[in-house]
Amino acid sequence: MNQSAGFPKTWTHTHDPFRVFYGDPIPQEETISGMADTPKTILIFAAHPDDCDVACGGSSAKWASQGHRVILCVATNGEKGSEDPEMTPERLVQIREPEQREAAAIMGIQEVIFLPNRDGTLEDTYEFRGQIVRLIRKYRPDRVLTHNPYRWQHRDHRMTGRVTLDAAYPYARDRLHYPELEGEGITPHKVAEVYLFGGLGDDGEADVEEDITEFAETKLKALACHVSQFGPAEEVRKRWRARWEERSKNGDGRLTEHFKRVEFRV
Ligand SMILES: [Zn+2]
């Protein structure tokens, strides 16, 4: 997996609440980032249809093209995302799920799971945490991606990020949480790292940069699938390309996506 030059090889900022360490830092070669030649499983938890594509669509396509297994879990049905006075929640769900599945296929995402939660209703509950623990234990990801819960953004995004972090550590790890899963043959799993996306400011908070220049067209094609959200495909291309180039700000023609990395060595 390509990492930016700024990727931390040693960690000294133990006051940083995003970095969770117990014991010595993991040697680089033992992390997923240091094992680019070995296929890994990457599990993305996004609140709504389209969130993954906006935040990490290029990276998802890139990782999939490198032979990694990329799986997307959408935490709600997206039934509230419309200003159309004629639209109903039921009809919107019927539109948005196929949009997300089509976009995921374009990005090379191998599987899409929709959790049975209504848009705008996510809370930090035992049930929601259990849904995520189940998927982490079932798919056994090397890397988890989710929303950054520590910046202001859509409530469902904050809830998904916060509950996913808690599910990754310690709930998916400890067998006495959700013990009923063991009865189904779904055993505990340790997540090594979580990438947070969204709400990362220009203050250097992001510490992983993925160069997705080669996957720009793929990302735009995926975004263009979400007609119910972004309008006609040509508009999407124009609008997102401009917005995204502005965000990348590399000044060298590269397009990038950024993440905050949380590492668990527990
Ligand atoms: Zn969203």
User: Are residues 64 and 107 in contact, defined by beta-carbon separation less than 8 angstroms?
Assistant: yes
Q: What is the model's pTM? A: 0.86
Could you tell me which residues come within 8 angstroms of residue 177 by beta carbon, excluding any fewer than 6 positions away? 133, 170, 171
Predicted pLDDT of residue 116: 97
Give me the pLDDT at residue 204, please.
Answer: 62
Measured in angstroms, how far is the CA atom of residue 180 from the centroid of ligand 1?
31
Distance 264 CA to ligand 1 centre (A): 26
Q: How far is the CA of 13 from the centre of ligand 1 (A)?
A: 31
User: Ligand 1: distance of its center to the CA of 120 in Å?
Assistant: 9
As a CATH number, domain 28-263 is 3.40.50.10320
Domain segments of the chain: what residues? Answer: 28-263
User: How many angstroms separate the alpha carbon of residue 129 from the centre of ligand 1?
Assistant: 18
What's the CA-to-centroid distance between 185 and ligand 1, angstroms? 32
Say what percent of the chain tops pLDDT 90: 62
Tokens at 126, concatenated: 């035992």
Residues 117-156: tens digit of each pLDDT: 999 999 999 999 999 999 999 999 999 999 999 888 899 9
The string of pLDDT tens digits covering residues 29-58 is 555 554 456 889 999 999 999 999 999 999
Determine the distance separating the centroid of ligand 1 and the alpha carbon of 76, expressed in angstroms: 9
Cα gap 44→49, rounded to integer Å: 12
CA of 20 to the centre of ligand 1 (A): 26
Average pLDDT over residues 93-111: 96
What distance in angstroms lies between residue 195's CA and the mean position of ligand 1's atoms?
A: 17
